[in-house]
Amino acid sequence: MRGIWAVVPGLLLCVGLALAGQALAAALQLPVPGAVLGLLAYLLLLLLVPAARHTRAGAALLVRWIGAMLVPALIGLHAALPLLAAAALPVMLLLVGTTLVTALATAWLYRLAGGRG
């Protein structure tokens, strides 16, 4: 039972910050996803408030199951399959090409900026 209660503070805090972020983004009409504001707020809390570290177990639980939360979005893909099939080759080339370019550019920029690791 103790294991279950350990995740409660983190779950509540992350839900609260996600809702607060959404409310803030809507109120100020900020062009960013509200949850991202919640992420930044949570990072500040973790850095500045030692007690916030008690929320670790709940937050880690959410991160571990993030993949399951993406399944409903991916199931929505069935409607776009004809569009995707019609452009499969150029899309595949684009995905492969830009992924390799991005990886190389990142590694190269690290060196260029004086990274030694």
CB-facing half-sphere around the CA of 64: CA atoms within 13 A: 8
Based on the shown chain and the rule CB under 8 A, indicate whether residue 109 belongs to the binding site for another protein.
Answer: yes
Among 15, 23, 28, 49, contact with another protein (rule: CB under 8 A): 15
What CA–CA distances, in Å, run from 97 to 28, 53, 103, 113?
Answer: 38, 41, 10, 24
Report how many residues bind another protein under the rule CB under 8 A: 76
The amino acid at 73: A
Based on the shown chain and the rule CB under 8 A, indicate whether residue 28 belongs to the binding site for another protein.
Answer: no
Based on the shown chain and the rule CB under 8 A, indicate whether residue 50 belongs to the binding site for another protein.
Answer: no
Number of other CB atoms surrounding residue 55 within 10 Å: 23
Based on the shown chain and the rule CB under 8 A, indicate whether residue 22 belongs to the binding site for another protein.
Answer: yes
Rounded Cα distance, 78 and 90, in Å: 20
Q: Which is nearer to another protein, 2 or 111 (CB)?
A: 111
Based on the shown chain and the rule CB under 8 A, indicate whether residue 54 belongs to the binding site for another protein.
Answer: no
Q: Which helix (H) or strand (E) holds 31?
A: none
Can you say how many angstroms the Cα of residue 95 is from the centroid of all Cα atoms in its chain? 20
Q: Which of residues 65-94 bind another protein (CB under 8 A)?
A: 65-80, 83-84, 87, 90-91, 93-94
Based on the shown chain and the rule CB under 8 A, indicate whether residue 46 belongs to the binding site for another protein.
Answer: yes
Based on the shown chain and the rule CB under 8 A, indicate whether residue 8 belongs to the binding site for another protein.
Answer: no
